[in-house]
Structure formats: C-alpha cells, structure tokens
Structure 1
Amino acid sequence: MHTTPRTHLTHHTAPDGVAPGAGYTHVVTGAGRLVAVSGQVALDADGDLVGAGDPAAQARQVFENLRRCLAAAGAAFTDVVKLTYYVTDTAHLPAIRAARDARVDVTRPPASTAVQVAALFRPDLLLEIEAWALVGGEAR
C-alpha cells in the first residue's frame, strides 16, 4: 500500500493490488466537519447558462460554482475528498479534467467517480459535479 505524506487534513492512499488512479485517489480518509455540496451545473448567479454546447466553458463555470459553495461552508478545494461527475457524454471528460486540474492539487487529487447519464434536468447542460469535503479535525 502506498500512502502519501499528510500535508493537510486528509490521507491519500493507493491500495496494493489496485491499478493506480489517473487523476484521482482511490482512498481519501480524514476527520473533521463534513461538507456536502450538491451537484453544480453551468449556471451563473442569474441562472443563465454559461457555455452552451461548450463542455470546457461549462466545466469552468461548474468549478467556479463549486468554489463558491465550498467557500460559503468555510472550505476550499484543498479540503475536497470526493468529486462525482455526471456527464451526458464521456467525450467531455478531458475538458472536465482540465478544469478540475486548475483547481485541485494534482499531486493529491480527491477520490472521484464519473457516470455517463442520458440527460440532466435541462437539455442544454452537459455536466453536473458534486463535492464532498472535510474541514478541520485530524487525519488518521
């Protein structure tokens, strides 16, 4: 089992016998206050779509919305332990990863799951991302 040194409040682990994650960590543990951020989509503060038909622009807006939600809870991307991606087409994943990598510590990425869905609640939305964060406490 490979474990990275604790530099924050979480512990990132790559279990023996499991293929290494490409841009995510298999196991993230920690202690503290749990922050759950509902799935965010590419709507701006006025509820207008950002980036119609453009997965990169939508991903950037989604990560900005996530940043604002985390900040409202006293958290930051350094506290995120899990991201879940809902995408209408897995071809959008490279654009999503680029937006993610601009926000997270790529040497200690959060755990993640990507799911292709038939549709989101509006047909012009290409992706939705939810986040889980741990704030405070002591990692084990």
Structure 2
Amino acid sequence: MTRLTHISAPAGVAPSDGYTHVVTGPGRLAAVAGQLPFDEKGALVGEGDPAAQARQVFTNMRACLAAAGGTFDDVVKLTVHLTDMAHLAEVLAVRDEFIDTARPPASTVMQVAALFRPELLLEVDALAILADDAH
C-alpha cells in the first residue's frame, strides 16, 4: 500500500491529464534542486536534443532521490522549465519513462526566456516526501 495520496479530480476542479492536482503523505520533505543535462563529469549531454537532455536530467534526479533514500515514487511535485514549449511532448515522453504514469506527481510546466547557458533546453526540480525511515 502506498503512503502517498493522489487526488486527480478535487471537487470543483477539472480532472487532470498527465499530472495529479494534489499529492499528500506522511514523511520527510526532500527538495531536489533544478537538475540540468550534465553528466557526472559536468559535460553537457544532448546538445540540441530535448529528449537526450531530458533523459540526463531525469537520470540525475533519480540519483539525487536515491541519495536521500527515495525514488520517483516519492515525488509529489515536479516543475519543468523549458526554453521552448515546442519540446514539451518529447520531454514528457521521457518523464513518463521515469514516473508511474498511473499515479503521476503534481506538475507545473513553464516556458522560460533562458537558462544559465544558451545550450540548455530544460531544467527540472522536484519535491518528494520520503518515508520517515528512509536513508
């Protein structure tokens, strides 16, 4: 039994598609800083390729969650910053390789004017609720 509660259609709110409106649960809060498409040596992965950059971003996020004793199942909120909304479908397809699409986290996607380097196409941060006994 999962310890997180997903509320996809709160009363008076249209049902969501691809995200959950509200996720709650007991445990410790973990904030994962915005992850970028850099490998463990700091090299950019996937220049000009939103899917490759997204895969590296979510791989980095998985490592950050693991360091805190968690997994993507513990993520309650994702925030995706895109430099071009035209990349959304590719980025979400990669995201769906990492999350449980039957119980997706709450999510926000926004287009930003720029990230700190021009070749970066996205940045993703997360909030997770970890079991009290994690890590």
Question: Aligned pair 1:81/2:76, yes or no?
Answer: yes
Q: Residue in 2 aligned with 1:3?
A: none
Question: Aligned pair 1:56/2:56, yes or no?
Answer: no
Q: Residue in 2 aligned with 1:12?
A: 6
What is the TM-score normalised by the length of structure 2? 0.94
Q: Which moved more, 1:91-100 or 1:37-46?
A: 91-100
Give, in whole Å, the separation in 1 of the partners of 2:123 and 2:16.
21
Q: Which moved more, 1:7-16 or 1:33-42?
A: 7-16
| Secondary structure in structure 1 of the residue aligned to 2:98 | coil
Residues 1-140 of structure 1 mapped to structure 2, 5 A cutoff: 7-13=1-7, 14-137=9-132
Residues 10, 28 of structure 1: 8 Å contact kept: yes
Unaligned runs of 5+ in 2: none
Unaligned runs of 5+ in 1: 1-6
Give, in whole Å, the separation in 1 of the partners of 2:57 and 2:87.
13
Q: Please provide the CA RMSD for this pair.
A: 0.9
What is the TM-score normalised by the length of structure 1? 0.91
Q: Report the AA paired with residue 67 of structure 2.
A: A
> How many residue pairs were aligned?
131
Q: Report the AA paired with residue 76 of structure 1.
A: T
Q: 1:17 offset after TM fit, Å? A: 2.0
